[in-house]
Amino acid sequence: MQEGTFTAPGYSGETARPAPNVYAADCPTRLLLDRIADKWSVLILTTLGPGERRFNGLKRHIDGISQKMLSQTLRSLERDGLVQRDVVPTVPVSVTYAVTPLGRELLDALQAMIDWAERRMGTVASAQVAYDRREEELSLIA
C-alpha cells in the first residue's frame, strides 16, 4: 500500500491471481447472495409482503426461527434498506416492521422463484428419493 507509487496495470511480476471475472467476490449477484442467501431473510420478506408486522408476530408466523436470528436478520434487512423498523411508543413499546419500496421490488423479483418452488418441489423430492436409492444400490455392490 505505498502511497504515491503509481502502479501501472501492466505490471506483470506478481500476477499469481486469476483474472477477476463476474463471479469474483464483487459481482452484484454474489453480493446479493451474501446478504439474502440464508434461510431466514426471504421468509421474513415474504411474511412482511402482505403488510407490516410486529416482532413477535413475525416470530410466531415463521415457525422455528429463534429470537436471535429474527432480530439479527431484521437488523441486516433494515441495514440493506429492504425493511423499515418503526418504534411505536405504546406500552409496552411495540415495534413494527414493513418492507420498503426497495424490498417490495426484491420481493417481486423473488416471486418467480417462489412459484417455481410451489410447482416443482415435489419433483425435487422425487429426484432425491431416486438418487438415494441409486446410492444405496451402489453401496450394496461395493
Task: Give yes or no for residue 141 binding its own copies (CB under 8 A).
Answer: no
- Given the rule CB under 7 A, which of 16-24, 59-67, 121-129, 133-141 is the region that contacts DNA? 59-67
Q: Is the dihedral of CA 68, 56, 111, 102 positive or negative?
A: negative
Retrieve residue 6's grid coordinates. 503509481
Contact 135, 117 (CB under 8 A): no
Task: Give yes or no for residue 128 binding its own copies (CB under 8 A).
Answer: yes
List the one residue from 30, 35, 54, 104 that touches DNA (CB under 7 A).
Answer: 54
Other C-beta atoms closer than 10 Å to the C-beta of 90 total 8
Count of CA atoms in the C-beta half-sphere (13 A) of 118 = 5
Please enumerate in sequence order all residues whose Cβ is within 8 A of that of 28, keeping only pairs 6 or more positions apart, or say none.
none
Instruction: Pick what 13 binds: DNA, its own copies, none; C-beta below 5 to 8 Å, kind-dependent.
Output: none
Which DSSP symbol is given to 97? Answer: E
Residues at the contact surface with DNA, assessed by CB under 7 A: 9, 11, 14, 38-40, 54-57, 64-69, 71-72, 74-75, 85, 91-96
Residues at the contact surface with its own copies, assessed by CB under 8 A: 1-2, 4, 6, 9, 18, 20-21, 23-25, 28-35, 37-39, 42-43, 46-47, 49-51, 53-54, 57, 60-64, 78-82, 102, 105-106, 108-118, 120-121, 123-128, 130-132
